[in-house]
Amino acid sequence: MDSVKEEIASTAARMVVEEGLEYGAAKRRAVKQMGLPGRTALPDNDAIELAVEEYIAIFCADTQPAELRSLRELALTWLEKMHTYRPHLGGAVWRGTATRLSDIYIQLFCDDSKSAEISLIDMGVRFEVHSVPGFHGEMVDALSVQVACPALEAHVGVHLLVYDLDDMRGALKPDARGRKPRGDAAALRNLLHDGRL
């Protein structure tokens, strides 16, 4: 990776950790902050993730593990609540790079896309519906909830991304680093039990 991309990755990583930005937004803001042209070649998400891991190890090693555990415990509660829809945790909470500013991203695999909404209504949960890019750039519905996290003394965004059941087939393929990009409740329990980050 060239030095400009490395600097963008480093700057973006700081924004991801300190401000809770998503990778794409952090990269764009880093380019702007650094005064680079809008068409500057950006580092890929793997480079950002490595920079985030590095930033956390240097600046957040004393606080991040407890924050991550709190977010994973909250995520497990939601995986269990939504068990009917074959939920899988993804994003920074699954990968181990989450901090107290990170949101929780759970993919649901449904026979009927509206059934998850009905379940939330039946539970008395208030949520907002919006569209976000899915696994392959296609737009999917996200049901977003703000949830109290007493351990962090804060509210956390929980985003339930609604996919068709058929989408589950390719959803568990390992990424470029050989890691599973998401995990179910059993996999998350194992991470919590083993104390792995």
Mean pLDDT, 10 residues at a time, the chain of 197 residues:
90 94 93 93 93 96 96 98 96 94 95 92 96 86 96 96 87 78 94 78
Task: Sort strands 139-149 and 154-164 into parallel, antiparallel or unpaired.
Answer: antiparallel
Strand-pair category, 128-133 with 104-110: unpaired
Q: What is the pLDDT of residue 196?
A: 63
Q: CA-CA distance, 29 to 159, in Å (whole number)?
A: 23
SS3 159: strand
pLDDT at 1: 62
Q: How far apart are CA 115 and CA 162, in angstroms?
A: 10
CB contact at 8 A, 57 and 19: no
Closest CA to 102 of 187, 10, 26: 26
Topology classification of domain 64-194: Beta Polymerase; domain 2 (3.30.460)
In 3D, which of 27, 31, 5 has the Cα closest to residue 15? 27
Please report the pLDDT score of residue 127 as a whole number: 97
Three-state SS for 139?
strand
Predicted confidence at residue 149, as pLDDT, reads: 96
Cα separation, 99 vs 37, in Å, equals 30
On whether the CB atoms of residues 42 and 5 are closer than 8 A, the answer is yes
What is the C-alpha separation between 182 and 83, in angstroms, rounded? 15
Q: Residues spanned by CATH 3.30.460 within the chain?
A: 64-194
Q: How high is the pLDDT of residue 43?
A: 95
- What sign does the dihedral 63-183-117-139 (CA atoms) show? positive
Cβ pair 117, 129 in contact under 8 A = yes
pLDDT of residue 167: 86
Beta bridge partners of 140: 132
